[in-house]
Each structure stands twice: as C-alpha cells, then as structure tokens.
Structure 1
Amino acid sequence: KRTLARIKDLIVEGNSFAHALGRFPGIFPPIYINMVRAGETSGTLEIVLERLAEITEKQQALANRIQAALAYPLFMLFFGAVVLFVLLAYIVPTITAIFTDMKQVLPTPTRVLIFLSGFFKTYWWTLLLLLGGSAVAARQFRKTDKGRHWSDKVTLRLPVFGNLARKLAVARFSRTLGSLLENGVSLLTALEIVKNIVGNVLISEAVTQTAEEVSKGKALWLSLSESKVFPALSIQMVQVGEQSGELEKMLYKVADVFENEVETTILRLTAYLEPLMILVMGAIVGFIVLSICLPIFEMNQLIR
C-alpha cells in the first residue's frame, strides 16, 4: 500500500508512470518499466498493462501446475524417508538386539541391517547437521558469480532435467521478448532486458552475445543459432517469424510450444516416479523383513 501511495504521489507530481515504477526496482522488474514506458510513448498503455498481466498470469499458472505435479512425489519421498528413519533408528534395533544377544553367526543381510541401524541410531544428528550444512553451503556458493555459473552449467547438462531447465528459460525468453517487441521496444533494448530474466547465467550470456551480433546487423535467428544454447526448433521458428515479418507472434508460439513440452514432460516423469518410489520403498522394507526373518529360519532349522 505504501508503494502504491508513493507511486500515486510521484505521478501527481508530474512524473511518468514508468518513472514512478522505476523508483522501486526491487518490486517492478525492468520488463515492467520498459513496457510501460513504451506504452506511454505510443499511447497504448492500457494494452501494455493487459499484456503484462497476461504474461504474469501465464508464468504463474505454469509454475502452479508444475508445483501441483511435484507435490505428491515430494510428499511420498518425505514420508518414505521418515518411515525409513523410524524403522532403522528405533524399531529394527529392538528386534536385532535379540539376535546379537544370542551370539550366533548371523546372515550377511542381517549384519548389514544391524550396522545400518546402529549407524543411524548413533549418528542421525550428525547426518542431519551434514545435510543442513551442505544445503546452506551450496546456497551461499550459488550466490557467488562463480557458483551460479557452475551450477547453471551443471543444470543444463543434467539428463532430462537439464533439457527441462533449458526449455523453461527459452519459453520465458520468447514470451518476454515477444511482448516487448509487440509493445514498441526496440530489439536491442528488448534483448538487454530479457537477458536478466531468463534465469540461467549461460543462457543470459548467450543473449548478450546475440545482442552484440544483432547490433552488427545479423539476423536474430542466426545470432541465436551461433550461441549453441537455444534448441534448434526455437531457432527455426524465430527464422520463420523474421522472414515472414511476424516475429512477435512466432515468439509467442515458441513460448507456448516449450511451456507445453515442459508441462507434459513433468507430468510424464511424475507418472513414472510414483510407482518407482513405491518399488524402492518396497525393496527396502523387503530387505529389512528378510534380514530379520533369516536368523529366525536358521534357528528353526537348528531346533529341528
């Protein structure tokens, strides 16, 4: 409310809407400010604001669908980890203590289970500290330029997930660039803005390189292809858009195509992940049951 009130005061004082938004860079990203400035200049501010709302809604809708698709597998993973911890740290030691007291030679699976159980029961807090410390260290490293560059590079090289990250970045790049161009922002200015919102350092560097090549007179699609980062399909679609004079529309189509591919891939992965997690948990529980039952079977044979 304070921000909106301050923006209103700035406009009343005679400042433009774009200038007022620019006073709050922590709230309004460059794309908002530049599109609003272009809308004010061209007299299409209402259309620009509608377009900004549409971009935000689509990006948020995609994020919500992805979160919804991942919610159940993440819950299963967390629940399984808790169950496994309780089994190894509390339930299994109570049962295996009987076998240890009998001082008989135990089967290998049982000895492995006893070792794992004792380790978890004794050092669970150490493991927790290590995991927490590693997460904090990784987060701090990610904040450095070197760390972010390394993590983004690794992310793009990951099987399946790297391709997803690339497609998400390209979709964000395409939709934002299309909106900027459609609302009167020059291509070079639009590229300078877009490079800050793609969400990946390597792709951002590729956009910077593309802007330099475009400033020398190269076609956008050719400059993108030389970066070796953008998928071939996106480059081909941009080429068609440039040659047909409908670059903005084609950029929107690129965004739609890759957003749909990302959503479809995530839904497919979660469909495979759920039964896989059940199988893994079943295998772990089966190993625990087998490790407990083997000594009992051996004792029965000795009694007979």
Structure 2
Amino acid sequence: FVIPTFTNMFSELGGALPLPTKILIATSELTRKAWYLIPLIPVLIIFLYKLILRSPGRRLVVDKIKLHIPIIGGLTQQVCVARFSRTLGTLLTSGVPILNALETVKDTIGNEFIAHAVLEVRDSIKEGESVSGPMDASKAFPPLVVKMVNIGEETGQLDKMLIQIADNFEEEVDVAIGGLTSLLEPILIVFMGLVVGFIVISMFMPLFSLAKLIG
C-alpha cells in the first residue's frame, strides 16, 4: 500500500515506476478488485478439463500427452503398467482366458491411451499374434516390460512374469513418490523465497529511482 503513493510522486517529478513495481501494483489492483474470481479459476479449469474428456478421441489425446509430461508422465506410465500387469497376471493365474482378461484389464488401467493399446493387443491375439508383439507396436509400454512379457510367453509363465513386473513397478512407484514428496518442501521454500524477493525488490526499486530523481 506504500507503493501506490510513489506513483503520484513519480508523475510529479516526471519519472516512471520501474517495471517490476508496475507488475506488482497491477497484480495487487487486480487481486483487490477481482478477488471473488480467484476461487472460480480452479473450478473453471476443472470444468473445462472434464468437458474435454467427454469425447473419447480427445481423452485419448490428453492421456497420451500425460505420458510425455516430465517426471509425472513417467510416474503415470509406471502406475498404469503396474495395474495392467497385476490385474492381467491375477486373472490368468485364476484361469480366465486371455481375451476375456484383457477386456477386463482395459477398464482398470486409468489411462485411455494405454487402455486403447490393450484393446489392440486383444484384437491382435484374435488374429493369432503373440502378446508382446502388439504391445511393442503400440509404443504404450516400456521396452523392458515388452521383453519380460516376451520371455514369459516363451517360457509358458506369462502370469508369473506379469506378477513380477507388477511387483517391480509398484516398488519403483513407491520410491518415486517418496522422492517427490521429499522434494516438495524445498521447492515450496524456494518458490516462496522468489515471491517474497520479487515483492521486496519491487518495493525498494522506486525508492532508489526516487532518490536519483530528487538528487
């Protein structure tokens, strides 16, 4: 609230406020006059996101993009692969035919792009192909997973190999989440430091500029 006072003083002396100070004042004015819109922003974002996902085609594109987001994309893929492997391995162990099992698995993955790949795997198996071949062609599964599935097929222990894949990926997910959690606090501290630093600099720059004008 001290900074707006400098606006009139600078105008009288023929000076102009520094850019950071202008940004700070504009942000402050916008927040003060339109504070009631701030809670609506996340609501609007969520609404638009859900509106986009109503279309299966758009949902497929959005879920594919999710897999390419740095850090989060890799973690999302690991979670989906763990679900795929755990569910399919359990169903096969229980004696469920693989085509029926894949039909069930696609609804548990949580990512439309990978679920679509599972359907392609199922359709390819109907045509007499292996499991690992269409998995590799879909580009939705990590190469290591494809290789392990291929080994499981060749040894006749696909169900056990899928359970092993699920165990490995679930462990990797736990480690990754633990690492992200430990990084969250320092990231927030750095962010708050940058915000406070910007505010302080924006408040003091007019003082230095005003001293030069007076001098």
TM bracket (short chain): 0.7 to 0.9
Corresponding residue for residue 165 of structure 2: 254
Count residues in correspondence.
211
Corresponding residue for residue 96 of structure 1: 3
Using structure 2 for the length normalisation, give the TM-score: 0.86
Equivalent residue runs for 1:71-150 within 5 Å: 94-103=1-10, 104=13, 105=15, 106-150=17-61
Corresponding residue for residue 289 of structure 1: 200
In 2, distance between residues paired with 1:299 and 1:195?
A: 66
- CA deviation after TM superposition for structure 1 residue 205, in Å: 1.4
Gaps of 5+ in 2: none
CA deviation string 1:184-222 (max 9, x = no partner): 111111111111211111111111111122122222222
AA in 1 matched with 2:5: I
CA deviation string 1:230-256 (max 9, x = no partner): 111111111222222222111111011
Question: Given the alignment of the two structures, is residue 216 of structure 1 paired with residue 108 of structure 2, yes or no?
Answer: no
AA in 1 matched with 2:48: A
AA in 2 matched with 1:293: F
Gaps of 5+ in 1: 1-93
- CA deviation after TM superposition for structure 1 residue 159, in Å: 2.1
- CA deviation after TM superposition for structure 1 residue 301, in Å: 6.3
Select 1:232's aligned residue among 133, 137, 143: 143
Select 2:177's aligned residue among 266, 284, 289: 266
In 2, distance between residues paired with 1:241 and 1:162?
A: 27
Cα root mean square deviation, aligned: 2.2
Task: Tell me: CA distance 1:216–1:303, structure 2 relative to 1, closer, same or farther (3 Å).
Answer: closer
In 2, distance between residues paired with 1:272 and 1:188?
A: 42
Task: Tell me: CA distance 1:301–1:204, structure 2 relative to 1, closer, same or farther (3 Å).
Answer: closer
CA deviation string 1:256-299 (max 9, x = no partner): 11112222222223333432221121111011111112333455
Using structure 1 for the length normalisation, give the TM-score: 0.63
CA deviation string 1:135-190 (max 9, x = no partner): 21221322332332222122122222222211111110100011101111111111
